[in-house]
Structure formats: C-alpha cells, structure tokens
Structure 1
C-alpha cells in the first residue's frame, strides 16, 4: 500500500482505479511528509479499494469511537460518586470542581434540577423555581426515559441484582450512549455525503470540538437528524427529509434552519415540489410530536419558547461582546445586560441580513454551491448573530464545515480555537465562583472568542470567494473529477493543498 512515492506513470498503466479517488499523501505535502514515518506516500501501483474489511467507512467509525472515548474521558473527572448512606450514592458534584477541571456537562445536574430524582414528568410538573422543562418535547421525554432507566437501576441495586450507582451517574451514562450512537450516525452520513473526499471525514470523527463538547449537552442528537436529512435529500427522498428534520427540530430546534438553504437549492434545481413535500412532512412530524403535549400541558409546553424569548445575551455570543461588554465597559466600567427584547431585535435583524446575502451568493455565484455549503453558511450566520452561543453549539458546524470547505488544516485551526475557548471559559467561571475574578482570564477568554469568530468569518469568506472563481480550489467539495498531471511527478492539480 505504501510503495515508492510519485512514480512516473507509464503509457501502459490504466489509471481508472485511482482516477476520482482522493489520496491524502498525494494532495497534501504535510500528509506526504508525515507518511514517511509509516512507509511513505501511496505508490502508483498500490492497490485501491481491495480491502475486504477495513473500508474507509469502517476506519472512520473506529476513529469516531476513539474520539468519543476521549470525549467521555474529558467528562470523567465530574463523574465521581460518594456514599451518602449505606448502599446509596450521589455524584460528587459541587465545589465548582466541574469548572476547575473543565469537565462541566449539563446532563449530570439536569437529573436533579428537572426533578427527575423526585419522579417529576416533563411539562406536567414544574420545578421548585416555578418553571418547567425548557427543552423541546422529544428531548424532554428522552430525558424522562433515561431517568426511568436510572430509577430501574436503583431498584435493581436495592435488591442486590446490580451494583449500587448514583442515579445521576446512570442517567448520564444512558444519555451518553445515545449521544455516542448519534455521533456515529453523523460520521456515517458525512462519509456518504463526502463522496471521493471520504478521508476528510476523519476530522468529524476526531474533531477537538468532539473531545470537549460531545457530552456537554444533547446537541449530537440534533446533528444526527440534520445530517441524515441532508443524505435523504441526496437520495431524492423529500418526505424522509421532512420527517428527519421535523424530529430533529423536536430534539434541538436548529435542524429547522435546513429549509432555507434547501429552498435555494430546490429553486436552482427546479425541485420546488420536493421542497414543499419536505416542508409538509416536517410540519406533520412536529405537530404529531408537539400537539398532545401542548394540549395537555400548555404552560409546560410553552416554556421552551418563553425561556428563549426572555433570555438575555450570553457571554459566548458576539451580541454580548459588542452590546454588553464593550459598550458598557467604555461607559462606566461595569458589565450590563442588553434587555432581551432589544437583543432579540438585533439578533433577528442581523440574521435576516446575512440570509439575504447567502441567497444572493446562491443565485449569482459562478459555481453553484452545494446544499452542505449553504447549510454551513446558514448555521454560521445564525450562530454569529444569535444572542446565545453555548459552547456545545459549535458541534452543529463540525460535519458541515468538513463537507463544505475541504481545507482540513484551516478547519483544524478553528476547532483548536474552539477547544481553547472552552478551557478558558471554564477557568473563567471557576475564577468567578472561587472569588478570584482575575480580569486577565476574562480578557483572554474574550480574545479567544473574537479569534474563534474571526476564524469562522475567514472560512466563510474563502468559501464564498471560491464560488465566484472559475476552476476554484474548492470545486472538489462537489466531487469534481480530478486532473492528472503529466511529467515525472504525479499530483492532483485540481485539488487544494490542504
């Protein structure tokens, strides 16, 4: 598999077995150099596509499992338990160690904060603070089922059939297993969508964002529905697209953003009928899931919308940085909060302007953008203009970025900034809770925030620029046929040096 690199082809060699394939050690000087530690770049006469078991998809799934294990390990310091009574355990959660160790996850405290430990049912029973479950319906009942598994484990442990574990720990384990399975679906769908660039999907499997955010919240579930919907559109199954997007929106609302870039692609490809079918299927799925809960528990069901409408801008968002931090610091040195109604207006207005720009690009670009590229631009625009950008939201972008922008090293740089941003954010919170309040830590976090946002803007700008340039380097994101150069060195001239 790793014979002499860049062997000059003879006139008798049939290149049909390699034409159309992306060989990382040919197209990237960096990969070519790194491969010398394992035998050198792929040789001209190397066998391609003859491995019976270790297919690219299976290798990528193995890598995804490794990445998820690292992600679980990053949360492990927050999963300690201690015995409160003989045979009864609780997760050792408190003292702000979850911030000091950068292992914070929303899932562990949700078991208690949502009343699952007391048998509360989402949307029916409100919490002691007077509020109800603030997640969409499908995700709320998924958590309820995971809590039921925790109660069943505790009952089994009480009879000696199972080892005693803290119920919140069992709750986290059940949720983590579902999230891990969902991320394997993300990798599978990304590999199917990537076509001849399948090896680029290693960055979906081993993304630094996955290492720290896979088990912070439930966003991986929503990403799985979104990527499966994109694949269904590729397979000309509009009803399935709508069903998956609708169910995804009942888990995490962001999959509903699919219908804007989908409309642009459907208009261009004269598939407006398919877009309408997908929209109707999504609406049907949302009504089927939400109507029974809205009818029985109207106030609890509406909490999701009320909670998000009344939230102030959060520290991870650009709106917070510009309108809350910088503005007030310049005025009187104290951080204030932009009223929620004004934050909503700024967010919606800025997002609408960016959507208009994306539509203009889709309709005027020399090279027609793919659905994945438009979806990447849409979600990036949403995050940059949202009043809330929780750190785990960056998971939404990982598979889309890899499919839309095939320059792996640039994407890896952005993802490393996401990781550093998370670590600094955790340390900032720890400093605040411990009473230190070091302003240097706060400023460094905000600098990393600006760098993260700037990196995403630069990636989007490069992507848009390539769409207006004929023969641009990003054409291969659409699976364009590579060109083989003549001469002593065999390279892909139609591929970028990623």
Structure 2
C-alpha cells in the first residue's frame, strides 16, 4: 500500500514535523487501524461538524435573517411543508420518505432536517467507502473528500449527496468492470440530478480510445432504462410538475454564481434565455470536443475519473446557474482525478470563499457603489479560475505524463 507521504509532495513536506516520510526499512502498517476505516470516521466527523454548524438556524428559525449571516441556510426545511418539490424525481422520492419518517418520529421541521442530515451522512460515508475501493492501494487519497470543507459547509444545504453517492458507485462499479452496475448508478444519479449524464460522455471517449463502443452502448442503455423506470411514476401521475422541472432548465436566464451572470454584470447587458441557451450549447459542445480530442490523443490513457471530472467541469462552467452546493458535483471526481492536497486546497478554498460570499450577498452585506454586488462577482471569477486551474492540472498531467517521476517510492507531479 502506498502511503500519503510517498504519493503527495505537500504531505511529504508536512510530515517533517513528525520525522519525515516513512523509510524503506520501517515496519508495516498497524493492522488495527486500516486507512479506509480512518477515512470513514473522518467523513462521519466532518458531517457531524457540518450539522452542528447549522444549529444557529435550528434554534432561531430556518427563515430568520441569520440564515445567511451565519452560513446556515438550507433548502431542506422548506421542503417539509411543501406539497411537492421542483427537483428531479429521486430527490422528490427521498424527501417524501424522509417526511413520512419525520412524522412518525416527531412532526417538526427541525426533526425533518435532522432525519435528512442523518440520511445525508450515511450517503457521504457510503460515497467515501466506494471511493476508497476504486483505488484500494491508496485509500488515504480519499481523505480530501472525508475532511473536505466543501462537504462540511454544503452537505446539508440541498440533496446533492444523492447524486454524489451514485457517482461514487459508478466509479467503483466501472473499476470492477461491471458495466451493468455502472449504468444503473449513472441512471440513479441522473434521476437525482442532471449532471451525472456527463459521465456517459466520459465513457464514450474512453470507448473510442479503446475501440470498445459496445461497452459504452451497454452502459448507456442500462443508464437510460434506470432513469426511465424511476421517472415513469412521476410522468404518469404528475406530468405538469415533471415537465415543469425540465421547462425551467430551458427557460431559465443567467442565474446566480454563473459565468453568464458575471458577463452580464461586467458588460451591463442582459442575455435573453433563448440566446443564452444557444451560447451555452456552443461553448459546451466546443469544450466536449476538446476533451474528446484530449482523451483520444493523450500520451497515456485517461482514467474514468479524469475524463468525468473534465466533462462535469465543462457542464459547471457553462451552466446558467451555480449554487455553492454544486461543488459536491465535482468532489468525488476531483479527489480521484487530482489527488494532490495542493490542488485540492486551492480549489476548495475558492469554493468556500464563494459559499461565504453567496450567503453574505443574499444578506445584503456585499453591495458596492461600483455595481450590484461587485465583490460577489469577484468571488465568482475566483471560483471559475480555481475550477479551470483544477481542470488544467488534469489536462497537463495527460499531455505531459513524463513530469511524473518516481524516486525512492515517492511520486512527484
């Protein structure tokens, strides 16, 4: 098993405080404390701290003004009283089950949040476990997921962890060569959120490189069937609500956190939804063609996680809205595709800054005389640059694999 200080230069440097990296003649691992188990414990602790961080809203009211100043705002409480959710079907099913369980335990909004929080924690631990199994020789790399500040702050904001667990399951299933289970996981993820469909593009690129389009067809057919089976009840029973979700995606204008909002604010113009759809489609198509070219011509074969991260990043960069919790879309892919603490800290630091700025902007604390929420726009730009930098690091590693050297069992990138 490869140790953290052998794989990551930053960890190797920091280990100097306790004597430096482990030498070649040192004894083996301590059997009673497996690295994977530590990762799961860390994930649990991180999520527990995240739930405690929301207690200000729980004690003073989820609709109170402090929900933004204290960074404890969440979409979950509002779903308890609502008759339905304007979300993908798996999210709606989950919320309905959690609501029934809440009424059985204690009929209150706070209990609904607690019940969902426990469920989300289990999903986070499941995702961490599956990610450690993708690369069982390097489980410590998933510590960047387990102790993620993004997970701590945004895990209880919405229902993103449903799709995160599904994406982790897809990565694990594909690492085992189980195409059917990979398709089921992607179908479940797409029924919880739209972005996991980008993983099919990543697999298509791998299939083209390997000349195995039949494998991609199997995954795609199973994913489509899984998504359809989950959506059929909603399509039959609540067609207008089901159609309304997809209609909203099409007719939505430039929303908070997006590149398009930044473009509008900087230019002083407004982009019509129809024009925005065309522009976003063209840019997304260009990015995906670039990723396809990279995946086919790269010096070494990209991993599923690397191509998946690049494809989801392309979606994130051109999306018409970017909420702070969307960082979770990237997290499981990023810790596998770029398991370097230097890159993780830089990217997640920018995401945390954007999370805080979004909340404080909604609280009216970031307005500026130079324009509407000018400081907020700056944090959007910082976050976009960090995301591009994360993707750029993956691209560079594919174009220049010779920059990876191994010396005394230490891998340096």
TM-score after normalising by structure 1:
0.78
* Other-structure match for 2:53: 74
Q: Does 2:390 align with 1:449?
A: no
| Aligned pairs (5 A) from 1:474-489 | 483=406, 485=407
* Other-structure match for 1:251: 192
* Other-structure match for 2:400: 469
CA contact (8 A) 1:105 1:216 kept: yes
1:232 paired residue among 159, 165, 173: 173
Deviation at 1:64, TM superposition (A): 0.7
In 2, distance between residues paired with 1:29 and 1:472? 14
CA contact (8 A) 1:134 1:307 kept: no
Deviations 1:371-400 (A, max 9, x none): 110000000111001111111111111121
In 2, distance between residues paired with 1:455 and 1:218? 24
Question: Structure 1 pair 149/28, CA: closer, same or farther in 2 (3 Å)?
Answer: closer
Whichever structure has more helix as a proportion of its residues is: 2
* Other-structure match for 1:61: 40
2:308 paired residue among 375, 382, 391: 375
In 1, distance between residues paired with 2:270 and 2:111? 38
1:431 paired residue among 351, 364, 372: 364
In 2, distance between residues paired with 1:299 and 1:424? 35
* Other-structure match for 2:223: 282
CA contact (8 A) 1:402 1:408 kept: no
Q: Does 2:375 align with 1:496?
A: no
In 2, distance between residues paired with 1:30 and 1:252? 34
In 1, distance between residues paired with 2:378 and 2:111? 38
* Other-structure match for 1:167: 108
Structure with larger Rg: 1
Question: Structure 1 pair 28/294, CA: closer, same or farther in 2 (3 Å)?
Answer: closer
In 2, distance between residues paired with 1:310 and 1:60? 42
Deviation at 1:145, TM superposition (A): 1.3
2:285 paired residue among 352, 363, 378: 352
Deviation at 1:54, TM superposition (A): 1.1
In 2, distance between residues paired with 1:94 and 1:267? 50
Q: How many residues align?
A: 412
SS in 1 for 2:192: coil
In 1, distance between residues paired with 2:19 and 2:392? 38
Question: Structure 1 pair 146/251, CA: closer, same or farther in 2 (3 Å)?
Answer: same
* Other-structure match for 1:321: 262
Larger deviation, residues 232-241 vs 372-381: 232-241
* Other-structure match for 1:157: none
Deviations 1:176-224 (A, max 9, x none): 1111111112211221223433212111111111121111111011011
* Other-structure match for 1:198: 139
SS in 2 for 1:431: coil
CA contact (8 A) 2:208 2:296 kept: no
Q: Does 2:155 align with 1:214?
A: yes
Deviations 1:13-43 (A, max 9, x none): xxxxxxxx43333455543453354454323
SS in 2 for 1:93: coil
Q: Does 2:23 align with 1:47?
A: no
Deviation at 1:67, TM superposition (A): 1.2
Deviation at 1:337, TM superposition (A): 4.1
Gaps of 5+ in 2: none
In 1, distance between residues paired with 2:391 and 2:397? 10
* Other-structure match for 2:212: 271
* Other-structure match for 1:179: 120
In 2, distance between residues paired with 1:381 and 1:206? 25
CA contact (8 A) 2:10 2:341 kept: no
* Other-structure match for 1:35: 15
Deviations 1:419-453 (A, max 9, x none): 11111211111116xxx844579222221221111
In 2, distance between residues paired with 1:169 and 1:344? 39
In 1, distance between residues paired with 2:127 and 2:143? 12
In 1, distance between residues paired with 2:11 and 2:174? 33
2:246 paired residue among 305, 312, 325: 305
* Other-structure match for 1:89: none
